Amino acid sequence: MTMILRIALPAPVYGLFDYLPVKNAATPALQPGQRLLVPFGRSERCGILIEVTDHTSIAQNRLRAVRAVLDEAPLMDREHLDYLRWVAGYYHHPVGEVLLSALPVRLRKGKKPLLSRPDRVRLLDDDPQTLAVLQRRAPRQWQVMNWLESLGGQASMGDLRRQFDSVHGVLRALQNKGLITLDTATSQADPPQQPDFTLEDEQNRAIAAVSAGLGRYGAFLLDGVTGSGKTEVYLRLAQQVLTRGQNVLLLVPEIALTPQLISRLEKRLPGPLAVLHSGRSDREREQAWLMASRGQARVVLGTRSAVLAPLPDLGLVLVDEEHDSSYKQQEGFRYSARDMALVRARRAGCPVVLGSATPSLESLKNAMEDRYTWLRLTRRAGKARQPRMQLLDIRNQRLQGGLSPPLLQALEETLSQGQQAMVFLNRRGYAPVLTCYSCGWLSDCPRCDARQTVHYRQRKLICHHCGNERPLPDHCPSCGSPELHPLGQGTEQLEQVLQQQYPDHPLVRIDRDATSTKGSLDQLLKQAREGRASLLVGTQMLAKGHHFPGVSLVAMVDVDGGLFGADFRAAERMAQLIIQVAGRAGRGAHPGQVLMQTRFPDHPLLQTLVNEDYAAFAREALRERAQAELPPCSYQVLIRASASKAETAETFLQQSVTLIEELGEREIQVWGPVPAPMQKRAGKFRSHLLLQSGDRQQLQRFLGAFIPALSTLPDATRVRWSVDVDPQDLY
């Protein structure tokens, strides 16, 4: 009987590939979850073994043999493989691409897993004479030794690297002298710190509700105002789960939120912590992934992709800022980490807590219909109170660098009292467009239906959609005139204006441009938290989830940009952003004030948020969605097509509409095809086809027949097409 290996490969094919075992070689016992190196076309690829069987639909003389078995033991157990295969099925994405995307980069390429790396440094010799010699002859080694001694003789490698830059050579020298040792911790050497404050009653009730459900699946919506202590609820719940001998998965939407969380988790929770996000090197992420998969890490903290990582004995899943659109992957394998966290918890038989001050309408609807247990934190923790929000009508105001006189006065008063002010503008760069006053030329991107943004410090025009860039011109490319001027304002220009206005007050700018180098974000956030900067300027990277106790004033320079978006979710996103940004004010000893500049002070969204609250907005928004039969009151799938010519993409989608009719599905609503809101992007013309149904299972059944048939359409090979289940952006 011939052994057939069914293997998932990273290829745009929805099924598995059949291979024969390795020829004439002693190999490890074959088990699902092992990586195999196989011939694929004229090259080799790394795949994952899914099944060992004795039958195939392909003639055996056409089957090729596996080249090598790369792992003695599976990297993923059968339970995790089943979870990832379910995810691939729900999103109708090729299973091989899903499984391989769940692996660290080196492991996808067939490399051997890294050996365990030390994560703790311990002092072996703290003799005063030794330290005195080091202080004279090797001051940097002495600094490390002195720091370790001040911490009781040991510290995590993470803390060490945050304290000292480029410390590898110093550690090697100290090791060679027998003064320190590096090891891999399997448990936390220092006892976890216990908080010295009392929880609010609402926090205690939330913890009790989730604690009562430990050991079985249950979904909880932790709906807490900004500053209400949601993170403390997470920590107390995690402590209970770890005490039970189980592990915890904590998801955050942004890399920027991980530094402060890492510090709190390491101080409060026992056992090693694995951190998974794109800001770490490939080797760091692989080490963390391996710690998680082997059960060495008791807590896994990560952004979106962490929901795909293996973690045995899962006892609790936490999703912070569950409303954030960053949880949805927008390219390639388009999954929602928030939604998959719910699936992960259900399959593991454990609770999942979704936390937010501005819950998504999807989660609110589930809570209202009792699918989730609704836990509310209505008050800020401690003595802090909700900030006062005020609209500044700038229609008849003379602006100075985009700032109105009342806003400048409020900034002056705040800074003169020694308090911090945050100035928010969700637009990076110096200005969104460059124009010629002589002929009207605009800095259009040659590859997109968009403008190139002015970046003065880099002396470049850069498209924020496709990355196309060119040197900043001195004369108009069209008419040769020197009358080139920026239009509009970005954070780079805002930084310049505020530095000129308040030269005696230190300022930090936090956006993607200012934090492009490794470690820069941590340093800037640390300056802000410690009060070493009076003025904080930035985009939503600065606003999301951060705790700046010294900030008493938050100024939003332009809240109008999100009021009139084409996407039906635009109002929801704008409301969430305003409340989240406003929530940075008044979290410490001083009362908070929020000023919002607008030319539309009577807009219903702004009036509702200022005079009522986010809950009032959400109730009205849900009512409107129900009337229009839009999500979360229905379910959508977006088929995207792009091609070098607009008519090619549209023709393919028109063929898709014909296919729907041929399949005889009359309950699915079909919208389009239509050009994408930004039709041309990165040199390609894009079109959309939107499918909608009030029945999720019916839509999934239809997709099971429809998606495989798309590749058989006449123009399928002339376009690049993709499937987006539960789309969050219709751009």
Q: What is the pLDDT of residues 267-316, one digit of tens each?
A: 888 878 899 988 788 888 998 999 999 888 999 999 999 999 999 999 99
CA distances (Å), origin 417, targets 34, 128, 443 = 62, 46, 42
Same fold, 201-377 and 388-429+490-626: yes
Percent of the chain with pLDDT over 90: 69
Structure-derived torsion over alpha carbons of residues 172, 174, 179, 184, reported in degrees to the nearest 10: -30
Domain boundaries, the chain: 4-108, 120-183, 201-377, 388-429+490-626, 635-725
Give the per-residue pLDDT at 524: 87
Mutual angle of helices 139-150 and 168-176, in 10-degree steps = 80
In terms of Cα–Cα distance, which of 294, 346, 302, 297 is closest to 87? Answer: 346
Give the per-residue pLDDT at 40: 94
Instruction: Give the right CATH number for 635-725 from 3.40.50.300, 3.30.479.30, 3.30.70.600, 3.30.420.40.
Output: 3.30.70.600
Stretch among 350-354, 542-546, 675-679 having the lowest mean pLDDT: 542-546
In terms of Cα–Cα distance, which of 229, 613, 588, 577 is closest to 414? Answer: 588
623-637 average pLDDT score? 97
Question: How far apart (Å, rounded) are the C-alpha atoms in residues 14 and 523?
Answer: 45
Contacts of 606 (CB under 8 A, 6+ apart): 391, 559, 563, 578, 596, 598, 600
Question: How far apart (Å, rounded) are the C-alpha atoms in residues 721 and 717?
Answer: 9
pLDDT band at 130 (very low <50, low <70, confident <90, very high): confident
Give the homologous superfamily in CATH for domain 388-429+490-626: P-loop containing nucleotide triphosphate hydrolases (3.40.50.300)
User: How is domain 201-377 classified at the architecture level of CATH?
Assistant: 3-Layer(aba) Sandwich (3.40)
- pLDDT tens digit string along 176-223? 888 888 766 544 445 567 776 789 999 999 999 999 999 999 999 999
Question: How far apart (Å, rounded) are the C-alpha atoms in residues 635 and 502?
Answer: 51
Q: Is the pLDDT of residue 82 over 90?
A: yes
Give the per-residue pLDDT at 189: 46
Task: For residue 143, give both structure tokens.
Answer: 């600094």
Question: How far apart (Å, rounded) are the C-alpha atoms in residues 351 and 213?
Answer: 7
pLDDT band at 26 (very low <50, low <70, confident <90, very high): low
Q: Is the pLDDT of residue 127 over 50?
A: yes
| Farthest CA pair distance, the chain | 87
Structure-derived torsion over alpha carbons of residues 105, 106, 107, 108, reported in degrees to the nearest 10: 50
DSSP E strands, 608-731: 635-643, 669-681, 684-693, 720-725
Question: How far apart (Å, rounded) are the C-alpha atoms in residues 112 and 129?
Answer: 44
Q: Is the pLDDT of residue 503 over 70?
A: yes
109-134 average pLDDT score? 80
Stretch among 89-93, 333-337, 408-412, 664-668 having the lowest mean pLDDT: 664-668
Are residues 108 and 75 in contact, defined by beta-carbon separation less than 8 angstroms?
no
Q: Is the pLDDT of residue 580 over 60?
A: yes
- Return phi, psi of residue 570, to 5°: -60, -45
Are residues 144 and 171 in contact, defined by beta-carbon separation less than 8 angstroms?
yes
Contacts of 294 (CB under 8 A, 6+ apart): none
How many residues in total does the chain contain? 731
Q: Element (H or E) spanning 341, and its range?
A: helix 337-348
* Distance in Å from the first CA to the final CA of the chain: 53
- pLDDT tens digit string along 443-486? 999 999 999 999 999 999 999 999 999 999 999 999 999 999 99
- Between 731 and 712, the more confident residue is 712
Sequence ranges of the binding site for Zn(2+): 436, 439, 445, 448, 463, 466, 476, 479
Looking up tokens 């938050």 gives: 554
- pLDDT tens digit string along 318-340? 999 999 999 999 999 999 999 99
Give the per-residue pLDDT at 589: 78
Give the per-residue pLDDT at 254: 84
Sequence ranges of the binding site: 436, 439, 445, 448, 463, 466, 476, 479
pLDDT band at 561 (very low <50, low <70, confident <90, very high): confident
- pLDDT tens digit string along 151-173? 777 787 878 887 887 788 888 88
User: What sign has the CA pseudo-torsion 280, 282, 284, 287?
Assistant: positive
> What fold characterizes domain 4-108?
GIY-YIG endonuclease (3.40.1440)
Paired residues of 486 in beta bridges: 434
b or e along 129-165 (b: 16 or more beta carbons within 10 Å of the residue's beta carbon)?
eebeebeeebeebbbbbeebeeeeebbbbbbbebeee
